Amino acid sequence: MNNSSGYIKEIFPSIQGEGKYVGAKQLFVRFAGCSINCLNCDTDYSAEDFFIIKDKKIQNPVSPVDLAGNITEAFGLNSFHSISITGGEPLDQFGFLKDFIKSVKRISGIRIFLETSGFYSDKLLALQDIVDIFSIDLKINSSFGVNNLQSVQKILRSIDTSKTYVKLIISKNITEIEMSAALKFLMDSKIKEIYLQPLNNISYNNKLEYIIDLLQDNGVNAYFIPQTHKFMEIR
C-alpha cells in the first residue's frame, strides 16, 4: 500500500460511547488493519474488498480524496460533532490518514477526532496541527498484554494536552505495581484527568474504588465510564 490509497473497514453514524466525549454524535470512519496485536481486542478491523457508505459500495483501496468526497456527498457533516477516525490502528496507514484528514477538512471544516493506541508517538505528533481531538489508550499488560507508557509519555510531553485525553482500560488482573506505574506516568506527564473503562464492561468494584481513590488522592480526576454504546445496543 502506498500513501495515495488506503483500506477502510466501515463508515457509519453513531453516538460516541467511550471516554470524555461520550454522548456526542459522530461519523465513525474505521480504518482497517492493526499492528499492535493486543490481547482482548473486541474489534473486527480486517480489510475487505469493499466497504459501504449508506447503500453505496466503495472499492478498497480508496484514495483519500475519493473517500472525503464520498463522505461529504453521503452525509450532512454539519449534523455531527466530529468525524471519529478509529480502527484498528489508523496510524498504520499514516500517509493515507494524513491526506484524508486534510481533504475532508478542506471540503467541510469538520472537527477530527482520532482514536489511537498511542504506540506511534512520532506519527501522532506529526498530525497535531490537523487533528482537533486525540483519544489515547493507556495500555497495560494485565489488560492487553502490551505496555505503551513510554510512548504515551513522549506524546504528552510534546502535545497540547487541552485537546488530548487518556483512557485506561482495567481488568480484574490489574496489579498495584501497574497502578503505581500508571500514576507516576500521569504525574510526570502533568495529566489532571483520566477516563477509566472496564474490560468487557465488568466493574471490578473493590479494585475500582481503590484505583479511583489512589488517583483522586494524588490530584488526578478519575471518571469511570463503561462502553455505553453496548448498553444502548448500537455500534
Pairwise CA distance, residues 191 & 162, whole Å: 10
Pairwise CA distance, residues 143 & 229, whole Å: 20
Q: Which domains are seen in the chain, by residue range?
A: 8-231 (3.20.20.70)
Using CB atoms within 10 Å of the CB of residue 76, give its burial: 0 to 12 exposed, 13 to 18 middle, 19+ buried: exposed
Q: With bands split at pLDDT 50, 70 and 90, how would you rate the model's confidence at 3?
A: low
Q: With bands split at pLDDT 50, 70 and 90, how would you rate the model's confidence at 81?
A: very high
- Give the tens place of pLDDT for each residue, 130-170: 999 999 999 899 988 999 999 999 999 999 989 999 999 89
How much is the pLDDT for 1? Answer: 41
Query: What's the mean per-residue pLDDT of the chain?
Result: 92
Is residue 71 scored above 90 in pLDDT? yes
Query: Mean pLDDT over residues 198-211, rounded?
Result: 82
Q: With bands split at pLDDT 50, 70 and 90, how would you rate the model's confidence at 44?
A: confident
Query: Within a 13 Å sphere around the CA of 65, how many CA atoms are in the beta-carbon half?
Result: 1
Pairwise CA distance, residues 19 & 168, whole Å: 10
How much is the pLDDT for 2? Answer: 45
Range with the poorest average pLDDT among 86-90, 222-226, 227-231: 227-231
Q: With bands split at pLDDT 50, 70 and 90, how would you rate the model's confidence at 33?
A: very high
Let me know how many helices (H) and strands (E) the chain has, helices first: 8, 10
DSSP string, 107-153: HH---EEEEE-S--HHHHHTTTTT-SEEEEEE--HHHHS---HHHHH
